[in-house]
Structure 1
Amino acid sequence: MKKYFLLLFILFPAVEISLFLISSKIIGILPTMLVIVLTSALGAYFARKQGMEAFQKVQRDLQYGKMPGATIVDGFCILIGGLLLLIPGFLSDLIGAFLLIPVTRKRIKPLFERWLRNMSNRNRYTIIR
C-alpha cells in the first residue's frame, strides 16, 4: 500500500504540472489561471451545498432511528470531491467533479464503501475466552 501511495504522491503532481503547461500553451496563461480559480470557486460552492444536504439527511435519518451509513459515505465522497476541487489542477478537478456529481458518485461510492470496510476490518480484534 505504501508503494502505491508513494507512486501516486510522485505521479499526481507531475501529471498536474504537465496539464498546466499544455493548457497554458493551448489557451494561454491567463485563461488557464481563470479556469483554475473558477473550478475552485464552483467546487467550494457545490461541496458546501451538497455537504449541508448530506448533513441534514444524516440528522433526519438519526431522528427517525435509521442508520445513515449510505448518507455518511455520500458525505465522505462530497468532502473528498470538494477538497480535490479546491486543489489547483485539472486532474484533481476532474476527480473532484466525479465525486460531486450524484450520477457519477453512485458509481464511485461502492469503491469507497469497500475501502472503508477494509479499513475497519483491519482494526478488528477477536477476543476468545
Structure 2
Amino acid sequence: MAVAFLLYVFAEIAAIWAVGSAVGVFGTLGLLLAGAILGSWLARREGAKAMRAFTSAARSGRPAEKELTDGMLVGLGGVLILVPGFVSDVLGLLLILPPSRAVARRLWLRRMEKRAVRFANQRRGPVMVVDSEVVPPSEERRREGTQPTVIEGRVIEG
C-alpha cells in the first residue's frame, strides 16, 4: 500500500511538472483550479442523479445495489477531484462520468460478491448460493400436494 501511495505521489509530481513546463506556473494553477470547480459541479450533478435513482428504487421496492454503488463511486470521484493534482482529477472524472462509472460499478460489485462468499465460508463453512427459476406445479401435482419444481439453476460456490 505504501508503494502504491509513493507511485501515486511521483505520478502527480511528474504530471504537474509536465503541465507546468508546457503552460507555466499560472496556467498550471488555473488548470488545477478549473478542474476542481468543474469536477465539483459535475460530482454534485451526478450525485443528485444517483440520489434520485436510489430513492426511486427504494420506493418501488426493488434492490438498489446499483444506485447505492453509483452514489459511492460519485462521492469517491468528488473527493479525488478536490485533491490537488492532475492524476487524481482524471481518476475522479472517470468515477463520475456514467460510462466509465458503469465499468467501475461492475468490477466493484463482482469483487464484493466474491468477498462476501469468502467471508461467509470463513465464518460458517462452505456456502453455495443457488440462483434458480421456480415453476408452479401442474394441476395434477397440486392435487397431490407436490412442491414446485425447479427447472433451471446456477450454483455459485465460494
The TM-score, its normalising length taken from structure 2, stands at 0.71
Q: Aligned to 2:92, which of 96, 100, 103? A: 96
Unaligned runs of 5+ in 1: none
Matches within 5 A, 1:70-109: 70-109=66-105
Unaligned runs of 5+ in 2: 126-158
Matches within 5 A, 1:26-105: 26-105=22-101
Report the secondary structure of 1:48's partner residue. helix
Matches within 5 A, 1:2-13: 5-13=1-9
RMSD: 1.8
User: RCO (CA 8 Å, sep 6+): is it higher in 1 or 2?
Assistant: 1
Amino acid at match of 2:104: I
Number of residue equivalences: 124
The TM-score, its normalising length taken from structure 1, stands at 0.86
Q: CA deviation at 1:58?
A: 0.9
Q: CA deviation at 1:115?
A: 3.0
Amino acid at match of 2:72: F
Q: CA deviation at 1:120?
A: 3.6
Q: CA deviation at 1:121?
A: 4.0
Amino acid at match of 1:77: L
Amino acid at match of 1:33: L
Higher-Rg member (1/2): 2
Greater fraction helix: 1
CA distance in 2, matches of 1:48, 1:57: 14
CA distance in 2, matches of 1:32, 1:11: 21
Runs of 4+ displaced beyond 4 Å: none
Q: CA deviation at 1:118?
A: 4.0
CA distance in 2, matches of 1:80, 1:116: 17
CA distance in 1, matches of 2:55, 2:88: 30
Query: Residue 126 of structure 1 aligns with which residue?
Result: 124
1:57-78 CA-partner distances (Å, limit 9, x unpaired): 1111111111101111111111
Greater fraction strand: 2
